């Protein structure tokens, strides 16, 4: 029986460039307890809503996160639109869906790379990020920004897709799918990957449910919980089923996220084919009054947006509940009883985004 000691993990750690601090109570290389601590990069974005015009605030809201930026901008716009009873044109809904799915692909590919890096598979990391780069190129060609797209506005979107861009997107999707198939073999079958991920950090469906986890993290344990099923934007017109797995370990999380990239490719193809012609935005009249809440499926899970206005240009209150925040209890649960050597991969497996958690 060894002596208990506390090992600090983060806020600067090689496995994760995100400022989360965990106090790991370790005994004989086994983690007994993990005490999380966040608050290193609070930026006060929600407070800015009281100082910025509600239209300007879109650009602040999408800077909540550097990866799911489009989703945050969209969630904010949806919340304000709901508050002001604005019906967004159909074409804008489809465009938002397409860009949202591209951002999901880019987020998942980034995560796959980081996971490969976490268990020391550097070349796989580069392969995943090479594919991700194509997604970023598509974004830059169609929205003007690589990470922060700034195409959302309250009442619609700013930019349209022309025929050339749609053709380009479809061509690139084929290329991404082909190369991902190549990577998939390694991700799903390689002994190195399996040894580091199979049976690690297992959470049952009941545990996931009780801990309130969301997103691919929850779906990997068999919880069929996907906000896209509620049919916001154009999701109601698209045909898809949430990807789930029953195993609930780190391997299942890789599986679910990889399959979700294919799902996104299929969703984008469907949306591109079905997209109707028409207006991009509708003029928004009046000031936000009352309160509204929307739930959006971000790449990392369900995000909640709450807005409250009092008939002025400035919102009274803006609140975001980000998916990582909901997944932190699940992380602490997983860490209990884990091997110290697995802590890195376990932390990465929830796809933590601490910057958006702290807003």
Partner 1 sequence: MGIMTFRNTMLANLFKKPVTTKYPAEPIDYPEGSRGHIEIEIEKCISCMLCAKNCPSGAITVDRKEGSWEINRMDCIQCGYCTMKCPKKCLHIVPGYTAPDGVKQVDRFVRPPETMKPAAKPAAAPKPAEEKKPEAAQKAADAVKTEETKQN
Residue numbers of the site for partner 1 (CB under 8 A)? Answer: 51-53, 55-57, 59-60, 63, 123-124, 127, 130, 133, 137, 140-141, 144-145, 148, 150, 158-159, 182-183, 185-186, 189-191, 194
Name the residue nearer to partner 1 (CB basis): 146 or 266. Answer: 146
* Closest separation in Å from C-beta 233 to partner 1: 22
Cα(197)–Cα(186) distance, rounded to whole angstroms? 13
- The answer to whether the beta carbons of residues 317 and 308 sit under 8 Å apart is yes
DSSP string, 314-345: BEEEEEEE-HHHHHHHHHHHHHTT-BGGGHHH
Give the shortest CB-243-to-partner 1 separation in angstroms: 22
Work out how close the CB of 161 gets to partner 1 at its nearest, in angstroms, rounded to a whole number.
11
Residue closer to partner 1 (CB basis): 57 or 345: 57
Q: Which is nearer to partner 1, 22 or 128 (CB)?
A: 128
Q: CB burial class (10 A; 0-12, 13-18, 19+) of residue 145?
A: middle
Least distance CB 259 / partner 1 (angstroms): 18
Q: Which residues pair with 315 in a beta bridge?
A: 309
Q: Which is nearer to partner 1, 188 or 240 (CB)?
A: 188
Q: Whose Cβ is closer to partner 1: residue 159's or residue 319's?
A: 159
Please identify, using beta-carbon distances, which residue of 137 and 246 lies nearer to partner 1. Answer: 137
Q: How far apart are CA 133 and CA 110, in angstroms?
A: 10
Q: How far apart are CA 19 and CA 339, in angstroms?
A: 22
Rounded to an integer, what distance in angstroms lies between the CA atom of residue 357 and that of residue 340?
25
C-beta of 324: minimal distance to partner 1 in Å? 23
Pairwise CA distance, residues 67 & 352, whole Å? 11
Nearest approach, Cβ of residue 314 and partner 1 (Å): 8
**Rounded distance, CA 4 to CA 6, Å?**
7
For residue 331, count CB atoms less than 10 angstroms from its CB and return exposed for 0-12, middle for 13-18, buried for 19 or more. buried
Residue (29 or 279) nearer to partner 1, CB: 279
**Beta carbon of residue 56, minimum distance to partner 1 (angstroms, whole number):** 5
Dihedral of alpha carbons 209, 212, 215, 221, sign: negative
Q: Which uninterrupted H or E stretch holds 177?
A: helix 163-189
User: Rounded to 5 degrees, what are φ and ψ at 96?
Assistant: -60, -45
Q: What whole-number distance in Å separates Cα of residue 74 and Cα of residue 64?
A: 12
Task: Pick between residue 4 and residue 198 the one whose CB is nearest to partner 1.
Answer: 198
The minimum distance between CB 51 and partner 1, in angstroms, equals: 6
Least Å distance, CB 265 to partner 1, is 20
The torsion defined by the Cα of 60, 101, 227 and 50, in degrees rounded to 10, comes to 10
- Token output for 68: 């799911």
Closer CB to partner 1, 150 or 207, in the complex: 150
């Amino acid at each position: 029986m060894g002596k208990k000691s506390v090992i600090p993990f983060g806020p600067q750690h090689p496995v994760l460039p995100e400022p989360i601090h965990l106090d790991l109570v370790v005994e004989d290389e086994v983690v007994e307890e993990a005490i999380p601590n966040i608050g290193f990069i609070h930026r006060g974005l929600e407070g800015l809503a009281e100082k910025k015009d509600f239209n300007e605030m879109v650009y602040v809201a999408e800077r909540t996160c550097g990866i799911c930026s489009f989703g945050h901008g969209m969630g904010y716009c949806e919340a304000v639109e709901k508050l002001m009873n604005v019906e967004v044109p159909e074409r804008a809904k489809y465009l938002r869906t397409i860009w949202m799915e591209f951002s999901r692909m880019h987020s998942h590919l980034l995560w796959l790379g980081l996971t490969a890096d976490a268990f020391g598979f550097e070349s796989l990391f580069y392969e995943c990020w090479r594919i991700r780069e194509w997604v970023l190129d598509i974004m830059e060609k169609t929205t003007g920004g690589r990470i922060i797209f700034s195409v959302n506005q309250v009442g619609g979107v700013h930019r349209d897709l022309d025929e050339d861009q749609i053709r380009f997107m479809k061509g690139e999707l084929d290329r991404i799918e082909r190369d991902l198939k190549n990577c998939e073999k390694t991700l799903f079958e390689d002994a190195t990957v399996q040894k580091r991920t199979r049976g690690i950090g297992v959470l049952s469906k009941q545990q996931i449910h009780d801990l309130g986890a969301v997103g691919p993290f929850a779906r990997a344990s068999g919880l069929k919980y996907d906000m896209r099923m509620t049919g916001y934007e154009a999701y109601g017109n698209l045909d898809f089923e949430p990807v789930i797995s029953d195993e609930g370990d780190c391997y299942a999380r890789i599986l679910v996220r990889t399959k979700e990239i294919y799902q996104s490719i299929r969703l984008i193809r469907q949306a591109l084919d079905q997209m109707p012609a028409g207006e991009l935005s509708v003029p928004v009249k009046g000031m936000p009054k009352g309160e509204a809440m929307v739930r959006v499926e971000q790449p990392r899970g369900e995000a909640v947006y709450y807005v409250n206005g009092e008939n002025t240009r400035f919102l009274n209150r803006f609140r975001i509940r980000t998916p990582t925040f909901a997944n932190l209890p699940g992380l602490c649960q997983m860490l209990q009883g884990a091997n110290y050597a697995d802590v890195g991969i376990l932390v990465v497996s929830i796809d933590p985004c601490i910057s958006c958690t702290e807003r």
